[in-house]
Amino acid sequence: MNKNYDWLITLVKIVGSGVPGSGPFLQALSEIESKGIKERLSKLEDPISNLHPDIPVLAKLIYDKLKTENSTNLEFNNEFYQEYSKSLAVLEANDYIKQTRTLGQRYPLDIYVADPTFIMYLCSIAEDEKKMNSLIELVENCEFGKLLDGKKIKLDLPLPVIRAVFKIYESKGHGVCSNETGTCKYLCKS
């Protein structure tokens, strides 16, 4: 709610519905407050989408490319970079992606999807919920000392998605991810 109207809201609440004619105003005030609360909750529930209005559409495009390329290093055409330059800049400023640039070039060479939580956000926008539930269940129910090989998991999910889930579990202390190039393994330790 805009601070310039806080005094008015306070006054209306104090006066209440006991004053003739204030009922419709109180109803309007309630709706304004409700809308404000919904907007604030939306920002808490989905902070990435609320960074820029184009991000949900951009996320779908990035995920489609990630899935097709089975990689987190993604190349797009110049029109893509031009159309989504502002939302890409916001994502980069928040460390969700990194753009590779060269001096003198107007557009990036590629983008690198850097953050595992951003990959999960992409999945929430564009991936099959059943596949994701199956992957989470597999990692969640992994027994102490067991090694999961992402390349052998048959869920028709891109390796970057599987690796991102492994990395998230690793960040919580539940396991260790392989760091060797070309591997996608997770050793459960809890």
Q: Given this model, what pLDDT does residue 6 score?
A: 54
72 within a domain of the structure (yes/no): yes
Its sign, for the CA torsion 76, 80, 85, 91, is negative
* Residue 40: half-sphere exposure toward Cβ, Cα within 13 Å: 7
d(CA 165, CA 183): 14
Inside any domain, residue 160: yes
Alpha helices (runs of H) in the chain, residue ranges in sequence order: 6-15, 23-45, 55-69, 78-83, 85-93, 116-126, 129-140, 159-171
Residue 122 lies in a domain: no
- Domain annotation covers residue 121: no
Shared domain check, 20 and 66? no
Domain count, the chain: 3
Q: Give the domain-ending residue among 116, 138, 164.
A: 116
The domain boundary, picked from 75, 94, 116, lies at: 116
Residues 54 and 37 placed together within one structural domain of the fold: no
The CATH number of the domain holding residue 169 is: 1.10.10
| pLDDT at residue 18, rounded to an integer | 53
If asked whether residues 176 and 133 sit together in one domain, one would say yes
Specify the pLDDT at position 156: 95
Per-residue pLDDT of the chain (190 residues; tens, 9 = 90+): 444 545 555 545 555 555 555 566 556 656 655 555 555 444 445 789 999 999 999 999 999 999 999 999 999 999 999 999 999 999 999 999 999 999 989 999 999 998 999 999 999 999 999 999 999 999 999 999 999 999 999 999 999 999 999 999 999 999 999 988 889 999 999 8
Claim to verify: residue 131 and residue 175 sit in the same structural domain: yes
Domain limits for position 38: 3-45
For residue 136, tell me if it sits in a domain. yes
- Do 10 and 61 share a domain, yes or no? no
Residues 111 and 57 in one domain: yes
Are 55 and 111 in a shared domain?
yes
Kindly state whether residues 19 and 71 are assigned to the same domain. Answer: no
**141 and 101 co-located in one domain:** no
63 and 108 both lie in a single domain: yes
Dihedral of alpha carbons 155, 72, 60, 116, sign: positive
Residue 172 CB-half CA count within 13 A: 12
